[in-house]
Amino acid sequence: MSFVGVCLMLFGVLLGVLALGALYTGFATSGLALAAGVATTIAAFYVPAAWWAMSAGRSLSALVRTRGRDAERLMEAVGHLRMLFGFARAVIIVQALVIAAAGGILVWCTFAMDKGGKCWDAFG
């Protein structure tokens, strides 16, 4: 589990550095700037998930190495896992809402285009 946390941390840092680098150097133009901003936001969410995965892995490793404090180590690991899975649940809900909104916009634009209008005419 610590390996997963370390990988998440490395991927998050790499994604953030690349996205911010693209924004800073001007490679991200117009639509790509939005994608780079989204990538930076995703990278920021990798950090707490990675931290909780590493903490849970360390607690479970300590559970195996020690004697006499097993219940305390197990409860610590479960606490970290609970935070990690609670965070994952929130991310899944937000992703589902974003996907539903994007699908709704796609359907709206399809109907607007079929009637001979422009997609964004109704929005001003």
| Domain range summary for the chain, segments of one domain joined by + | 2-88
Average pLDDT of the residues in 11-30:
79
- 117 half-sphere exposure, CB direction, 13 A CA radius: 12
Please say if the pLDDT value at position 119 is more than 70.
Answer: no
Instruction: Give the number of other CB atoms < 10 A from CB of residue 59.
Output: 21
Cα distance between the two ends of the chain = 50
Please say if the pLDDT value at position 123 is more than 60.
Answer: no
Orientation angle between helical segments 31-65 and 70-114, nearest 10 degrees: 160
d(CA 61, CA 89): 25
Q: In degrees to the nearest 10, what's the CA dihedral of 31, 34, 36, 42?
A: -140
Region of poorest pLDDT, from 56-60, 66-70, 112-116: 112-116
Q: What confidence score (pLDDT) does residue 108 get?
A: 76
Which amino acid appears at position 66 of this protein?
Answer: T
Q: Residue 120: which pLDDT band, with cuts at 50, 70 and 90?
A: low
Orientation angle between helical segments 2-25 and 31-65, nearest 10 degrees: 160
Q: What confidence score (pLDDT) does residue 117 get?
A: 67
pTM (predicted TM-score): 0.56
Q: Residue 124: which pLDDT band, with cuts at 50, 70 and 90?
A: very low
